[in-house]
Amino acid sequence: MMPPICYICQKRFLEGGKLIYFLETDDDKMQRKRMEDYKMVGHPSNAFWFCDEHSSEAVKHSNETKIIALPKIKEFYK
């Protein structure tokens, strides 16, 4: 797993924050299958950490792929 570092502000945190999962792209699905097939563990490619300050906007976009959602979230906080 990736350490909890906010995708927006790069703040490291040990408490609070959320790991937000976005819809899987075809590449995400292939990577997850590869990891399952080889019995590997790791951070999901469609999941990103957000601190408490930035997680509410990220949750609003969790029904989109990361390709669509992440630029929108970044733009919101400019």
Q: Is residue 6 part of a domain?
A: no
Asked whether the predicted pLDDT for residue 31 surpasses 90, the reply is yes
Asked whether the predicted pLDDT for residue 7 surpasses 90, the reply is yes
pTM for this model (two decimals): 0.93
* The pLDDT value given to residue 27: 98
* The pLDDT value given to residue 76: 98
Q: Rounded to an integer, what is the distance from CA 1 to the centroid of its chain?
A: 11
Total domains in the fold of the chain: 1
Q: Is residue 34 part of a domain?
A: yes
Q: Is residue 9 part of a domain?
A: no
Q: Is residue 11 part of a domain?
A: no
- Mean pLDDT on 35-61: 97
The domain of 68 spans 18-76
Asked whether the predicted pLDDT for residue 1 surpasses 90, the reply is no
Torsion angle, alpha carbons of 50, 71, 46, 16, to 10: 10
